[in-house]
Structure 1
Amino acid sequence: MGRYALADNKDRFFGAIVYLLALADVVALGLGLATIIPALSPVFDFLSILLIPVMIIYGIIPGGFGGIVIFFILILAVVQNQKISYFIRFNTMQSILIGIAISLIQIVFGTLGGLNIIGMVVFLVVMPACIYCMVQCALGKYPEIPSFSKFVYEQVR
């Protein structure tokens, strides 16, 4: 579809930056890849540097509740706030959905077993998807992810 947005630079920046939250959620799942494929270590080093601001924000909130607090703040203060541009609200909601999908996979496969292998596969899918979304935002386009984007368009009004 490749819908273009009337997004100024601020909207493009904030539209892209929210995908760091989904990246932060998925990086831990892919860490095993660095031991299997040592050539990927620089990728994880770069991601760990890129995600420092997210980790600081998560760390400020005690008890390991950083993710859930950020989730509610984003839903209530961004996604449901009509004063914020649709572009930012759309991308925020899409990033949240990616994070929810990652969490569900962690719960299911953490309980049933096999999270290591599934986690690596999820990382190999989600990391490029997040980078794609960030690039699309920087270009002022709505990042289209099958199934996710359709749902997001229906939820964010």
Structure 2
Amino acid sequence: MGHPALRSSTQRLGISSPPLQTSRVQHSGGDSHRSKRSLQVQAGKDVDFADRAVAALPYFVPLFDGLKYGKFLFAQFPFLPRLLAPLNPLISFYFSFPFASLIVFFAIYAGIVNNQNFSRFVRYNALQSILLDIILIVPGLFEQIFRPPSGGLGLSLYINVYNTIFLYVFLAVLYAVGSCLIGQAARLPLVADAADQQVR
């Protein structure tokens, strides 16, 4: 359907103008698409710097907890440890406390996720980081039940699983932190939907 003013004019004149109406619909669709895109771009500017920083910080928890799964990649690609070298003081501090992961986990959940004083942007990212950290519990449980293989195909599979877990966590954290810093909410595979449903 065309614009109301355009329909009124053509009806009074007793003519119809399908090409004009079609052209108008197409043009409106383009405007709508551009409008939505503008709103998405503008959304990043609406998140202040403090929220961006607070939203990014919890992602260091799954990164630190996932470092042990990078041991084979670190040995094969020495540049990876050098890439993470600036975080060494934080990593050492984090692992200097017993049960640090558990303490920080509950601190983030109680202090950020359940704190309505923070924006939804911050709480969503905090919960997403927690869910990402929970995923790391699963391979840890398997390691407690099954002994690591000493050679052959089993060892190759073991190494590949370790590498996959680390790369998933590392790339997810890299993407999430980058998104937070530009004011956009990252949607991480396996955890985004759960975080989105729980944070209101």
Tell me the TM-score range normalised by the shorter chain.
0.7 to 0.9
Matched, 1:89 2:108: no
Gaps of 5+ in 1: none
Deviation by residue 1:19-45 (Cα, 9 ceiling, x = unmatched): 11111011111111122x2xx212223
User: Is the alpha carbon distance of 1:79 and 1:55 closer, same or farther for their aligned partners in structure 2, counting shifts above 3 Å?
Assistant: farther
Aligned sequence identity (%): 25
Give the structure-2-normalised TM-score. 0.67
Question: Partner of 1:12 in structure 2?
Answer: 52
- Point out 4+ residue stretches in structure 1 off by more than 6 angstroms: none
- For residues 95 and 127 of structure 2, the distance between their equivalents in structure 1, rounded to whole angstroms, comes to 19
- Structure 2 residue corresponding to 1:33, chosen from 67, 73, 79: 73
Corresponding residue of 2:83: 46
Figure out how many residues of one structure are paired with residues of the other and give that number.
150
Q: Deviations over 1:94-146 (max 9, x none)?
A: 11111110122221244234554312210111111110111111111100123
Greater RCO (Cα-Cα under 8 Å, separation 6 or more): 1
Which structure would you say has the larger Rg? 2
Paired residue for 2:112, among 65, 71, 78? 78
For the residue of structure 1 that corresponds to 2:189, the secondary structure is: coil
For the aligned residue pairs, the C-alpha RMSD in angstroms reads 2.1
Per the alignment, residue 156 of structure 1 pairs with 199
Given that residues 22 and 96 in structure 1 are in contact (C-alpha distance below 8 angstroms), is that contact kept between their aligned partners in structure 2? Answer: yes
Aligned residues of 1:22 and 1:99 also touching (Cα < 8 A):
yes
Q: Secondary structure at the match of 2:66?
A: helix
